[in-house]
């Protein structure tokens, strides 16, 4: 049989081994009411928001003030700085999540209608399903009175349970419920599949890991330079056209003057011929006044590319018109032979010209 000394030694060693794991949980107590609240909430389904706030029996008629009153009661019962139960932080997060939905007018309406978490990634697809009405569970309920905190929607951005608690009671656990920010510190994560976040329970601000603190200091030192680097593409986007216009401001004439093909149309009366295809084209004499022979030869080359672009656009328009005529000839039940004949015989002069010149459409 082990001696009392050996048992005491084992106990001491066990305490030494486990001391690092139990720091923050020593001397933490809770009342019977606090324990009952934690156990009741943890038995609820994650999306049983009315049941979590103990409003299941009045969920169809409860008002916004009743929801706030229920959150006030349950959050004070389960807050880890007041409740030393090992599952208090989990229950507190469930209470905060329930209030985050039921305390928001739009989210509560969605929850009452579909019975699912309105922030679920599949909720929007489910809400837009035209057959959803056959399977959705109507939870009913009166229309709540909107944001309990007044002003805009406080749930537009995801907030932690701790931030929600501070906003509700005002200050860092202050207000009429007294300050109790000197309790043990807790680090927990929320967000589920949508991410991992670390928050501090019992302090005025989030507790950061040492690595994050060092990185945060470095980011603060280089924040100005990083901001400038991130703005460089936008600055370049605006400055480049401005510089281009400044350097080209000495030449007010367009690089490629307007031109028409095959026949003159005032003011495009000066005749020239494209370099490759020998197509007749006409320009405004004022647009090329004083041009050198080299610039005029370059213009003839550009005339070929402009002509092909214009001819292809006309061909595409002709093909679209022909297809429209054919579609109209189909009718609802029977084909109209006369209309189909007109569609098949619809002329395609631009497309035919491209084929004769050996140019692909």
State pLDDT tens for residues 37-82.
Answer: 999 999 999 989 999 999 988 888 899 999 999 999 999 999 999 8
Peptide bond into 267 cis (omega under 30): yes
The whole-angstrom separation of Cα 96 and Cα 132 is 29
Expressed as residue numbers, the domain containing 89 is 4-210
Bridge partners, residue 272, by sequence: 281
Among 178, 210, 242, where does a domain finish? 210
Residue 158 has pLDDT above 70, yes or no: no
Residue 249, domain member (yes or no): no
Q: Name the token pair of 105.
A: 């007018």
Q: What is the mean pLDDT of residues 14-36?
A: 62
The position carrying tokens 């009718």 is: 331
Report the phi/psi class of residue 141: left, alpha or beta, with left for phi > 0 and alpha for psi in -120 to 50.
left
Give pLDDT, residue 360. 79
Kindly report the CATH number assigned to the domain that includes residue 173: 1.10.287.110
Q: Is position 311 within any domain?
A: yes
Note whether residue 231 is domain-resident.
no
The predicted structure's pLDDT at residue 216 = 54
pTM: 0.35
193-232 pLDDT, tens digit each: 444 444 444 444 444 555 555 555 555 555 678 888 888 8
pLDDT in tens, 88-122: 999 999 999 999 999 998 888 888 888 888 877 66
Task: Answer whether residue 225 is part of any domain.
Answer: no
Q: Quick one: 54 and 187 in the same domain?
A: yes
Number of structural domains found in the chain: 2
For residue 276, give both structure tokens: 């490759």
> Does residue 215 fall inside a structural domain?
no
With beta carbons less than 8 A apart as the criterion, state whether 173 and 81 touch: yes
Average pLDDT value over all residues in the chain: 74
Confidence of residue 243 (pLDDT cuts 50, 70, 90): confident
């Amino acid at each position: 049989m082990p001696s009392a000394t050996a048992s005491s030694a084992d106990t001491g060693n066990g305490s030494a081994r486990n001391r690092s794991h139990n720091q923050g949980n020593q001397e933490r107590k809770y009342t019977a009411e606090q324990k009952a609240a934690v156990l009741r909430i943890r038995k609820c389904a994650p999306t049983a928001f009315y049941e979590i706030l103990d409003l299941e029996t009045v969920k169809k008629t409860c008002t916004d003030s009743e929801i706030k009153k229920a959150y006030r009661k349950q959050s004070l019962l389960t807050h880890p700085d007041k409740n030393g139960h090992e599952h208090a932080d989990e229950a507190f997060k469930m209470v905060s999540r329930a209030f985050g939905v039921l305390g928001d007018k739009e989210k509560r309406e969605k929850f009452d209608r579909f019975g699912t978490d309105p922030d679920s990634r599949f909720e929007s697809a489910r809400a837009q399903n035209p057959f959803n009405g056959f399977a959705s569970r109507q939870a009913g309920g009166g229309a709540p009175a909107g944001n309990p905190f007044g002003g805009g929607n406080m749930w537009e951005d995801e907030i932690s349970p701790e931030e929600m608690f501070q906003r509700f009671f005002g200050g860092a656990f202050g207000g009429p419920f007294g300050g109790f920010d000197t309790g043990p510190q807790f680090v927990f994560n929320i967000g589920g599949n949508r991410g991992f976040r670390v928050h501090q329970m019992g302090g005025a601000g989030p507790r950061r890991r040492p690595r994050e603190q060092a990185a945060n200091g470095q980011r603060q030192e280089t924040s100005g330079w990083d901001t400038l680097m991130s703005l460089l593409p936008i600055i370049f986007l605006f400055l480049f056209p401005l510089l281009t216009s400044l350097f080209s401001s000495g030449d007010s004439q367009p690089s490629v003057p307007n031109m028409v093909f095959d026949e003159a149309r005032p003011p495009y009366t000066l005749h020239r011929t494209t370099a490759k295809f020998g197509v007749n084209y006409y320009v405004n004499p004022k647009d090329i006044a004083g041009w050198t022979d080299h610039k005029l030869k370059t213009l003839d080359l550009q005339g070929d590319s402009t002509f092909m672009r214009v001819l292809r656009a006309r061909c595409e328009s002709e093909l679209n018109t022909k297809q429209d005529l054919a579609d109209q000839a189909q009718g609802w039940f029977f084909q109209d032979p006369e209309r189909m004949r007109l569609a098949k015989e619809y002329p395609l002069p631009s497309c035919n010209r491209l084929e004769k010149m050996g140019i692909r459409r």
